[in-house]
Structure 1
Amino acid sequence: MFLKTYQPELINTAIVVVIFIIIRIIGKIAIRKIGQKSTINDARIKLISRYYTVTLFLIFLFVEAFIFGAEYDNISVVFSSVFAVIGVALFAIWSILSNVTSGVIMFFSFPYKVGDKIKIHDKDYPIVAVIEDIRAFQLHLREDSGDLVTYPNNLILQKAVTLVEKDAIEDFGDFN
């Protein structure tokens, strides 16, 4: 009875699932190729792929709601309510969201790689260090003294940065 009642919706859902899987595979391949071409480490590639999958899944849920007959007005009320709650919650933790967004931007356009020695021109705390890791929220930088500095992603995009040496991490050894 269920299958007969919702047959068109189930067929449309199957089509959307296939399209979702194809788009997801193509997107993940593209992200992997961009990451490998830019010599970005695998952990960052996986993180960006995860963000991409979650975004696609949310779009999938939105499309599924329309397939099963939800009205645009009803969906807009639900989504605006959810986004209002999320907006208030994210305002309280805006720096985390800012760092994650900066991490995504850095994946595609950050000119420095793990192993590069950089100088951050911060007036309060200038840093000359080797990039050990680029994570979702911060960079891990190793100073010449051996100190580990975690520097927020959103700040690295706001400060002037100079490349001191490429692949300097080889000179200092492995700190992990």
Structure 2
Amino acid sequence: MFEHLQDEILKTIVLLIIFLIIRSILKISIKKIGQKSSINDARIGLISRYSTFTLILIFLLFVSYIFGATLENLTLLFSSVFAVIGIGLFAIWSILSNITSGIIMFFSFPYKVGDKIKIHDKDSPLEGIIEDIRAFQLHLRLDNGDLVTYPNNLILQKAVTLVQKDAIEDFGDFH
């Protein structure tokens, strides 16, 4: 029944094994980077899911090629899909911006959960302790107990200062 597809099935199995190995290495690497940077497990899991989703798309592209799809067909398919997705997502660009910012923050944000930061926003500056950093927003607990959700894309656009505990105590001595 599948004799004429035997070669393609074998190539797909080999490709699947390679992708599973790559996925495992990637998940371990992301976990190590996250733990080294003191990033919470929820953010590490989120980045792992993003990378797995990307690998699945790449895997499907390769499998399509193995089963005979030409480069022209794949280009046409993906350009059409991305055009439709692009038009649909243009309306919700802030969500994509926040997700992208969340990924950037995972790898390069110098602050972690538990740090007290000050966001230098000329319209409404904020100072509080980071309670959580999620895919779309950062949760900041203010001194008065209020919980503020601050969009990830804005946190990367504003100046942010780490408020040192010693500096707070020293600053209090001058008053």
Aligned to 2:94: 95
In structure 2, distance between residues paired with 1:121 and 1:46: 30
Aligned to 1:29: 28
Residue type at the aligned position of 2:114: G
2:65 counterpart of 1:61: no
Cα RMSD for the two superposed structures: 0.7
Aligned to 1:172: none
In structure 1, distance between residues paired with 2:6 and 2:125: 64
Aligned to 1:7: 6
Aligned to 1:86: 85
2:38 counterpart of 1:39: yes
In structure 2, distance between residues paired with 1:37 and 1:7: 45
Aligned to 2:147: 148
Determine what percentage of the aligned residue pairs are the same residue: 72
Q: Tell me, which stretches of 5 or more residues in structure 2 are unaligned?
A: 166-175
Superposed CA offset, 1:119-143 (max 9, x none): 0000111001110000000000000
Aligned to 1:174: none
SS at match of 1:6: helix
Superposed CA offset, 1:19-67 (max 9, x none): 0000000000000000000110000000000000000000000000000
SS at match of 1:112: coil
Aligned to 1:164: 163
In structure 1, distance between residues paired with 2:25 and 2:74: 28
TM-score of the pair, normalised by structure 2: 0.93
Runs of 4+ in 1 over 3 A off after TM superposition: none
Q: Shift of residue 165 of structure 1? A: 2.9
Residue type at the aligned position of 2:62: V
Residue type at the aligned position of 2:22: I
Q: Shift of residue 90 of structure 1? A: 1.0
Aligned to 1:77: 76
Q: Shift of residue 146 of structure 1? A: 0.4
Q: Tell me, which stretches of 5 or more residues in structure 1 are unaligned?
A: 167-176
SS at match of 2:39: coil
In structure 2, distance between residues paired with 1:106 and 1:6: 45
Residue type at the aligned position of 1:162: T
Aligned to 1:127: 126
In structure 1, distance between residues paired with 2:138 and 2:60: 34
TM-score of the pair, normalised by structure 1: 0.92
